[in-house]
Amino acid sequence: MRAMYRDGRTSASTAWLSAVVWPCLTNAGIAAFLYLLMRYALSPEVQDLARRGLVFAIITVCAASALFLVGTALSTYPLRRTADRRTSAVRTAVVRLPLRQSLLAGLLWTLTGLVATCAAAVAQSVQMAIITVMCMVLGGVAGAALTYFITERTMRPVTAAVIDGTVFDEVVTPTVRVRIVTAWLVGSALPILGVLLVAADIGLADGAGQPFDVRRAVIALAAIALVAGGLATWLASGAVGDPVHALRAAARDVEDGDLSTRVEVYDTTELGRLQAGFNAMVSGLAERQRLRDMFGRYVGEDVARRAVDTGISLGGTETEVAVLFVDLVGSTTLADRQSPTEVVGLLNRFFETVIEVIDTNDGFVNKFQGDAVLAVFGAPIAKDDTCTTALAAARTLSARLGPIVGPAGFGIGVSAGTAIAGHVGSSERFEYTVIGTPVNEAARLTELAKDSAPARVLAAAAVVRCADRAEQRCWRIGESVHLRGRLEETVIARPVD
């Protein structure tokens, strides 16, 4: 409805028109029923009074209806012209409109009742004035209550368009309890008042020695109880049930993963606070999801999920991992020969390929170091056969990176062993990383692999020995080399040509 109000004036115009016309017709219908009740269903004295006052009744109802239309039009016209501004004054006026319409209807019923009561007292007696007062009270309460419910329902598109969270503290409107009690008043209390009206009329007729048949009065009151009570109950239940149904449907959408779901806030009772609270909750969930997604892009989905599920603490644990290190050769020279845009494009294609291959082989891209990538297999989520998947990823990268980097070249090193995996840094800023011999060895093998044409891939022989037989057949174990920073020599392996 909010979009309809912003983008299409038809919905808003219909709401304003309905807020004027339908309450007027409802009150006129109640007045007509009360006249027919007095004219045909009560005692002969009341019927005679009603017959002789037909012209007076028509004029009174027409005048009251005209006053209601004029008063409503005058009070709503400025709002219709300023509703788009959504200022505090406009929001307050729109939210208060149903209550103001109801009070206007009650005021007109009171003025009409005073005129009719005085006329009855002058024409007949005080007892006849009492009957007239009871009829006016019956009509006034029903008219004011139905006016509120109808206006509240028809004005929902406009209310939803201008309302915001501040209006709950600025405007006092009937609560859910008051609405339910009002529906009970129209559906139950007023028919009982009608029975008292008939009883009072019976007493008047008995005192005059003219008993009458009350069946028509009972039937009429039962009919109006069914119609008015049913309408009031339907409107009141809709005022409570519609927001609840909307919330239930929205909650189902959120449960299905749609965090763009919002409910219209058009109610200013506890239900309106619930609507606004639901929207705030979903906005918070969406923001949390965006942060989690961004967090996952920075540190990896597995690390992000583990951090959300178990929390974050500094320190690490010893873990058996396989490590793959891949580095681009000559990136400094590339920056001198090509434009920054071309260099960034090359790096993005390089990283995109590395990430895709590592993810396909159940690895975790731990960090980017300039134009190099450190990938870990077996942390933060422990997995089986990490040596096999790391070696398979290295061979795949060797085949796919050649056409991408061209003459720049690259180097890939693979190692495995026990490392410390966890969060390092301070409580204000930290990162997930893997530290240990496998990382250092993989980095040194990468430097050596840059000159190891054509595959430019080297792995520690110990990694090949712990892989499955199918992967072992794809590698050839070679010589021993002394890597910088290592005390012992490392037996290296190359992919089979």
pTM for this prediction:
0.54
- What is the CATH code of the structural domain delimited by 311-495? 3.30.70.1230
pLDDT at 209: 45
Buried b (16+ CB within 10 A) or exposed e, 42-58: bbebbbebbeebeeebe
Q: Is residue 171 predicted with pLDDT exceeding 50?
A: yes
Mean pLDDT, residues 422-427: 70
Decide: helix, strand or coil at residue 279.
Answer: helix
Please tell me which of 25-39, 55-69, 189-203, 362-376 the model is most confident about, judged by mean pLDDT: 362-376
- Measured distance CA(436)–CA(374) in Å, rounded: 13
Q: Give the position of tokens 């693979």.
A: 414
Q: What percent of the chain has pLDDT over 90?
A: 7
Query: For 39-90, what is each residue's pLDDT tens digit?
Result: 776 666 666 766 766 666 666 667 666 767 666 666 665 555 555 556 667 7
Query: For 340-352, what is each residue's pLDDT tens digit?
Result: 777 788 888 888 8
pLDDT at 1: 35
3-state helix, strand, coil in the chain (%, to 5): 70, 15, 20
pLDDT at 9: 44
Q: Please check whether residue 246 is in contact with residue 264, taking contact to mean a CB–CB distance below 8 angstroms.
A: yes
pLDDT at 3: 39
pLDDT at 486: 74
Q: Is pLDDT larger for residue 109 or for residue 395?
A: 395
| Mean pLDDT of the residues in the chain | 75
